Chain A
Amino acid sequence: QKEVEQDPGPLSVPEGAIVSLNCTYSNSAFQYFMWYRQYSRKGPELLMYTYSSGNKEDGRFTAQVDKSSKYISLFIRDSQPSDSATYLCATETSGSRLTFGEGTQLTVNP
């Protein structure tokens, strides 16, 4: 069983839709949670970084962590075609090593 599970999609939505991306993790020792965005043929870039349970908002993006159920989410409001990318969740383990989900491919259609 993978330590971080993420539905790979693909996910296709119309412009303006609210997008919900989700991951589950198995290790209760994970403390830090991240979302990365990766455009085609580019390296991943950090989108959101959270530590505790609860919500963190940055513009149209909201990251949510529920440690009791080991569930992390990313919400994108008013989605734009420029949001089309692969979104990867990640958790931080000991020794500053990240464990990634498989990534969800998102397409926002104009």
Chain B
Amino acid sequence: DAGITQSPRHKVTETGTPVTLRCHQTENHRYMYWYRQDPGHGLRLIHYSYGVKDTDKGEVSDGYSVSRSKTEDFLLTLESATSSQTSVYFCAIQGGRGGYTFGSGTRLTVV
């Protein structure tokens, strides 16, 4: 999907365990973003990156960390998963004609 892939597509994990979601792009874009999507809230920004090793917090960053050691990869880590982090997670890159290009999403269930 326009050179952006997310893995895994689905994951079920237990409360208290760490979880890492991966976003990979082949577009060489500088900006990458992690959003979560929940009913009643829409898409909310968790963290974003504006270059290798350059990251910043979004509006719902508590309980999440990110890393970007290469231009093409942006990792989202749930340090100790909680049920409130059950959600659909989307990675996005800033597209060439403005706006974002989104990945297909990761459905995460914390039990």
Task: List residues of A whose CB falls within 8 A of some B CB.
Answer: 6, 8, 32, 34, 36, 41-46, 49, 88, 90, 95-103
Q: Chain B's nearest CB lies how many Å from the CB of A43?
A: 4
Are A43 and B42 in contact, with the CB atoms below 8 A?
no
Are A100 and B43 in contact, with the CB atoms below 8 A?
yes
Contact count A vs B, C-beta below 8 Å: 56
Q: Which of A42, A45, A49, A100 contacts B98, CB < 8 Å?
A: A49
Please count how many residues in chain B sit with their CB below 8 Å of the partner chain's CB atoms. 26
Are A97 and B90 in contact, with the CB atoms below 8 A?
no
Q: Chain B's nearest CB lies how many Å from the CB of A104?
A: 10
Name A50's closest neighbour in chain B (CB-CB).
B98
Are B104 and A42 in contact, with the CB atoms below 8 A?
yes
Tell me the bound Cα distance from A99 to B40 in angstroms: 15
Tell me the bound Cα distance from A95 to B30 in angstroms: 12
- A–B complex contacts, Cβ < 8 Å, 5 sampled: A6-B42, A32-B98, A46-B98, A97-B48, A99-B45
Tell me the bound Cα distance from A82 to B102 in angstroms: 20
Name A103's closest neighbour in chain B (CB-CB).
B42
Are B43 and A88 in contact, with the CB atoms below 8 A?
yes
Judge whether B33 is part of the interface by a CB distance below 8 angstroms: yes
Tell me the bound Cα distance from A42 to B104 in angstroms: 5
Q: Which of A8, A43, A49, A97 contacts B97, CB < 8 Å?
A: A49
Are A43 and B94 in contact, with the CB atoms below 8 A?
no
Q: A88-B42, A102-B42 are in contact. Are A34 and B98 (CB under 8 A)?
A: yes
Name B101's closest neighbour in chain A (CB-CB).
A46
Q: Which residues of B contact A8 (CB under 8 A)?
A: 40
Are B94 and A96 in contact, with the CB atoms below 8 A?
yes
